[in-house]
Chains A and B, each alone.
Chain A
Amino acid sequence: MKSELDGASARLDATENGGQAEVLRVEDLKVHFPLRKGVVIQRQVGSIRAVDGVSFTLRAGDTLGLVGESGCGKSTTGLAVLRMLDATAGRIVFEGRDITRADSDAMRPIRRRMQMVYQDPYGSLNPRMKVRDIIGEPLEVHAVSASVAEYRECVERLIEMVGLLPDMADRYPHEFSGGQRQRIGIARALALNPSLVICDEPVSALDVSIQAQVVNLFMSLQERLGLTYVFIAHDLAVVRHISDRIAVMYLGRIVEIAGRNDLYKAPLHPYTEALLAAIPVADPEVEARRPRTIVKGEVPSALKPPPGCRFHPRCPKAMDKCKMAEPVLTDLGGGRSVACHLHVSA
């Protein structure tokens, strides 16, 4: 299975983005959280399989969207890639180095190259620090700047880069709106000149009219700085807008990866189809014409995922086979992979 996956992703990249260097490779990543019982003598009674065999690769300058509903493992995948959570199994290769088991000393220089933008612009900024210090802190921690002048200049450049005004540097986070705070968070993430930025629901806490500003900022920064993004969100419309490729996750696994237009125009996995059908389009006339397949039920617990295909209890097209055998994510060519018995003949 592993070799098949490797082959699949390698081919996928060759067709998608020829010359660019590979920034990130995730192979069969698993993150399980043990569930313990007992007060003194704790014994493990099970595990929550938040991420359960996820593989993808990412080339420089690309954006991979990770979508799925709550509990699908998209955020956990992001945290594991950054090594903020330990992987239970699998491999994470970043800029050619296997960092899966790298210790904190080894991780320190690597962390400069991979940064994160968080969802909640209220919770992720220290309210007692001035914007200048929030943005400058990573520079200080990693002792990047040679002089105070260089440090100040760098902070000012970052402030300007994310579309804030120079005189905002001496204010505190509470003086800013959600959208502006998210810009501060982006400036801080970019301070150390990373190659990979993991954006975890970076616009979902923002008002609709502000979301577009921040999405545009992400896109122009990527052009300017050649950034590689993993863009995690539940809003498929936003993800489709910003991503080159999209991976749809369900209960800890990727069920489908495709280019953004293929995914929307011809979804292969019944879950992708259901997800697309569930999202209303802002046009009453289009809505009246759209086919409506509403899946039944809710996402089951990751503690006891269903046997076989994890989506089979909700799938309108489930067959007997789906209850028994778990489909493997298989490359179908043309940059598409799907894990579904309908499309993969075993």
Chain B
Amino acid sequence: MGRGRKPDARVPDSTVGSRTSYMPAPLLQVRNLTTRFNTERGRVTAVDDVSFDIDAGETVAIVGESGSGKSVTALSIMRLIPDPPGVIEKGEVIFEGRDLIGLDDPGIRAIRGNRIAMIFQEPMSSLNPALTVGMQVAEPVNLHRGAAWMKALDLAKELMGRVRIPDAASRLASYPHQYSGGMRQRVMIAMALACQPRLIIADEPTTALDVTVQAQILDLLKELTRETGSALLLITHDLGIVARYADRVVVMYGGRIVETAPARQLYKHPQHPYTLGLMASVPRLDGDAGQRLVPIEGQPPDLARLPPGCAFSPRCRSVTDLCRSSRPPLVAVGERHLRACFNEIRA
């Protein structure tokens, strides 16, 4: 990317979210975040000049398909990119007034699991199979708050009750394999909540779960963040989940943000051809069954071989020569609504 781009194509801060001066500073500000991986096929830009904000208490969803950079964005914020092969090349992640990218290891470790907590997709592989569940839920409290183990375990019991694990007191001594998938994800949520974080990042938290359990877990997560006032960054490929739970949405494609808007606005007036295409291609439960879907033609982007212009240009129905040659900047098209597209704004 970067190559051949004029600096003025970059989004000025004032347009990100079109916020006015009297509003409090956002909880998290991601600015021009760029993460690269060195692979056998050359350097791949997994996250490319990504900027967005999360306000305190807000639920923001990043939607995208595989290779869109949504998970790498989350891992970059947490500074969990394996280096090598990955490297955060550029950008800032400002959280509570500090740039997380510049922090040293003890500095970032004091934030992870404490001020920012993360919930992963596969609860079985993110829990330690050799430690009891109680120890794992108590660990962050012991580590970050310096609470004695007995006290931390008491708190763990309370947390497990809050995430509605039945019979929490007796299940503290159980191991993760003795829990079902849904219960394990509840344990993950309890761990995430342990230190009352200001931000919870949930990366596809329910993809491995059945739908009825998915609804239970997401409802619980939403309810608890509402109670504690913590913000939620929800990473998903599911437009239905976004519609149900998110306040604001960031749509990513090929490592870049193509559109961002408040959820209702995005679904009502999508402005990027990819967002539009995505919405038309997903069968809806309340839709016209039997009608042909309108798919997005072509194949998902190959990050090692992105076109010079817009990443979506090879699959776009309204592509022009300009789209193929130069990269569209992310510009405001409405209240907190930005998109990266050269086409006319849709009415």
| Closest Cβ–Cβ distance, residue A304 to chain B (whole Å) | 15
Beta-carbon contact of A238 and B180 below 8 Å:
no
Residues from 264 to 293 in A contacting B, C-beta threshold 8 Å: 264, 274-287
Q: Which residue of A lies closest to B266 (CB)?
A: A284
Q: B65 to A207, Cβ gap below 8 A?
A: yes
- Measuring CB to CB, which residues of chain B are less than 8 angstroms from any residue of chain A? 65-66, 180-183, 210-216, 219, 237-245, 263-264, 267-268, 277-279, 281-287, 289-290, 292-297, 299-300, 315
Per CB-CB distance, the 4 closest pairs between chain A and chain B, nearest first, are A280-B240, A212-B295, A212-B281, A241-B283
Q: Which size bracket describes the interface of A in this complex?
A: 35 or more
At the interface, yes or no: A225 with Cβ under 8 Å from chain B? no
Binary contact readout A224-255 vs B (1 if CB under 8 angstroms, 0 otherwise): 00000000001011101100000000000000
A12-59 at interface with B (beta carbon < 8 Å): none
A67 to chain B, nearest CB (A): 10
A286 to B285, CA, bound (A): 11
If A212-B282, A234-B211 touch, whether A280 touches B219 (CB-CB below 8 Å) is: no
A209 sits at the interface (CB 8 A): yes
| A145 at the B interface (CB under 8 A) | no
Q: Considering only CB atoms, which chain B residue lies closest to A294 in the complex?
A: B215
When distances are taken between beta carbons in the complex, the residues of chain A under 8 Å from B182 are: 298
Bound-state CA distance A310–B99 (Å) is 54
Please give the distance in Å from A171's CB to the nearest CB on chain B: 14
Residue from B212, B237, B285 in contact with A264 in the complex, judged by beta carbons closer than 8 Å: B285
Interface residues of chain A, those whose CB is within 8 Å of chain B, are 69-70, 177, 179-180, 207-213, 215-216, 219, 234, 236-238, 240-241, 260-261, 264, 274-287, 294-296, 298-299
Q: When chains A and B are docked, how far (Å) is the Cα of A215 from the Cα of B285?
A: 15
Cα A284 to Cα B283 in complex, Å, equals 16
Q: Are B212 and A280 in contact (CB under 8 A)?
A: no
**B296 contacts A280, C-beta separation under 8 Å:** no
**29 cross-chain CB contacts under 8 A:** A69-B212, A208-B278, A209-B65, A209-B277, A209-B281, A210-B295, A210-B300, A211-B281, A212-B281, A212-B294, A237-B282, A237-B285, A237-B287, A240-B283, A240-B289, A260-B290, A275-B211, A279-B211, A280-B215, A280-B241, A281-B244, A282-B242, A282-B279, A282-B282, A283-B284, A287-B243, A294-B212, A298-B210, A299-B210
| B287 proximity list for chain A (CB < 8 A) | 237, 241
Residues B281 and A208 in contact, CB atoms below 8 Å apart: yes
Q: Which residues of B have CB within 8 Å of A216?
A: 292-293, 295
Taking the nearest CB of chain A, how far is it from the CB of B132, in angstroms? 21
Q: Which of B211, B238, B267, B294 neighbours the largest number of chain A CB atoms within 10 Å of its CB?
A: B211
Which residue, B214, B278, B282, has most C-beta atoms of chain A within 10 A? Answer: B282
Cα-based distance from A281 to B264 in the complex (angstroms): 13
A279 touches B240 (CB 8 A): yes
Cβ B289 vs Cβ A241 within 8 A: yes
Residue pair B210, A177 in contact (C-beta under 8 Å): no
A208 contacts B239, C-beta separation under 8 Å: yes
Q: A287 contacts which chain B residues (CB < 8 A)?
A: 243-244
